[in-house]
Amino acid sequence: MPAEVAAKSSGPVPHSSLASQHIRLTSHASGHGALPIHWGAATAAERGPVVGTTTKRSHRNVIGTHSGSYSVYRALAIASGALSPRHKADLTNTSPTDLIGPYPQWSEPGRIVSLDPWGAAVADVFSSELAAGYDIRPTIAVTKAHVILPEVIEALQSGRLKADGKYLTAGGGALVTKAAIEPVWYLPEVARRFGCSETDLRRVLFEETGGMYPELVTRSDLEVFLPPIGGQTIYIFGNPQDLANPAVELTARVHDECNGSDVFGSDICTCRPYLTHAIEECIQGAQRGGVGLVAYSRKEGRALGEVTKFLVYNARKRQVGGDTADQYFARTECVAGVQDMRFQELMPDVLSWLGVRKIHRLVSMSNMKFDAIIKAGIEIGERVNIPDSLIPEDARVEMDAKMAAGYFTPGPVPDAAELKKAKGRELDA
Ligand SMILES: [Zn+2]
């Protein structure tokens, strides 16, 4: 088999020799060596490892490969000769700083379908398979950090937060445990979450990625897919093991990426103020004996992408009558065909991975997030919304539109006349 012959040589592969290799098709079962996956099994040994490596094709037991969207950069690194296709990760000293689970949710039927609950612990739970030569990569990494945000420093200076040296330093550094999580989809249950057949899901994934993964339609025996999309990052304030204890107060926000606001401070939406307000609430929660959690999903611009998002901004601000709340969702739908593609159906999996049974304080106004969390069997106590003083002027359009659409608010819901008022700034103002 050409793949195996190629795998015997070592060292970086120059361009020219890549071009002359046979293309390694993945659409036929390679026969021997691949370990079975029994998704949702109670122990790691029964479940089996997720093997998405491209170094030894016959060991693969999934569709797709590691690192989500960054798998394409890996291909570029190999194409340019910078990376050997046979590189095997040296995982010395990379093990998680904190143990997460195992929790009963890990094997509850259909509870976790879009990440590998054993993904952080592969070096430990699959040590014998690793010793036998299987290239098993972690899909989750857990580490520690200090996060320093200007809003937290401002809260310290104004007295809303107090440094304690344990959860918050005098310089405004919040001590966190954080984890990066790559998507690992168990296709039969992902299909069930979205109310379609597995066959239809596989066919549409194949077609809408331009035929990127033929095994979606040729290999029904492979049920696990590593999709080329962004993953999630979680930030934990306090003891990670307290997340699974419903007696410990949990303050949580599930946040969807918005680069324009989160990173660059654009004032057209409330994303960063909501995020930093949630972080302040999480720190306070940890300080009073609870635990805080921010789960951050890479779903830029309602998962429509940033190009679509910026097109919508222009459409909103150039329409007759100006940027009004009553046209907020309609303008998105005109450009994208839908109002939102975030589909919160898969979001609660990360909460189940952390063992969460109850969120005492959910910092969010989104009904879609609320409904998805409840549907996942997680209880929600209080809902905490963003204080009015933190809403940028240009973001009033978004807030009014969302409240009118049924998003959570403890205050009055704007009426039809209010929604027709142009509140957004003009494009060149
Ligand atoms: Zn935003």
- pLDDT per residue rounded down to tens, the chain (429 residues): 344 333 334 444 444 445 456 665 555 555 578 999 999 999 999 999 999 999 899 999 999 999 999 999 999 999 999 999 999 888 999 999 999 999 999 999 999 999 999 999 999 999 999 999 999 999 999 999 999 999 999 999 999 999 999 999 999 999 999 999 999 999 999 999 999 999 999 999 999 999 999 999 999 999 999 999 999 999 999 999 999 999 999 999 999 999 999 999 999 999 999 999 999 999 999 999 999 999 999 999 898 999 999 999 999 999 999 999 999 899 999 999 998 888 899 999 999 999 999 999 999 999 999 999 999 999 999 999 999 999 999 999 999 999 988 898 888 899 999 999 888 889 988
Amino acid, single-letter form, for residue 423: K
Which DSSP letter does residue 86 get? Answer: T
- At residue 21, the pLDDT reads 60
Instruction: Give the distance (Å) from ligand 1 centre to CA of residue 269.
Output: 5
In this structure, what token pair is assigned to residue 108?
């509850």
Q: Ligand 1 centroid to 8 CA: how many Å?
A: 49
Q: Report the pLDDT value the prediction gives residue 11, as an integer from 0 to 100.
A: 45
The one catalytic residue among 342, 357, 361, 396: 342
Q: Given strand 358-363, what is the order of strands in its sheet?
A: 140-148, 173-181, 232-237, 291-297, 250-256, 358-363, 379-384
What per-residue confidence (pLDDT) applies to 1?
Answer: 36
CA 143 / ligand 1 centre spacing (Å): 27
Rounded-to-integer distance, Cα 172 and Cα 337, Å: 43
Q: Enumerate residues 6+ apart whose C-beta is below 8 A from 256.
A: 296, 297, 299, 302, 303, 342
* DSSP-based three-state secondary structure for 173: strand
* pLDDT for the residue numbered 18: 54
So what's the pLDDT on residue 29? 53
Is 342 a known active-site residue?
yes
- Residue of 205, 243, 238, 241 lying closest to 222 (CA atoms): 205
Q: How far apart are CA 79 and CA 400, in angstroms?
A: 49
Cα(104) to centroid(ligand 1), Å: 35
* Active-site option among 340, 349, 357, 396: 340
203 given a catalytic annotation: no
- 233 CA distance to ligand 1 middle (Å): 17
pLDDT given at position 42 = 96
* Distance (Å) from CA 191 to ligand 1 centroid: 29
Q: What is the pLDDT of residue 23?
A: 62
**How far does the centroid of ligand 1 lie from the alpha carbon of residue 182, in Å?**
23
| Distance in Å, CA 296 to ligand 1 centroid | 13
Distance 263 CA to ligand 1 centre (A): 10
pLDDT at residue 3 in the model:
40
pLDDT at 5 (0 to 100): 37
Cα(302) to centroid(ligand 1), Å:
9
pLDDT value for 31: 53
Where are any strands of DSSP class E within 126-257? 140-148, 173-181, 185-186, 224-226, 232-237, 250-256
Q: How far is the CA of 395 from the centre of ligand 1 (A)?
A: 9
Q: Provide the terminal-to-terminal Cα distance of the chain, rounded to the nearest Å.
A: 64
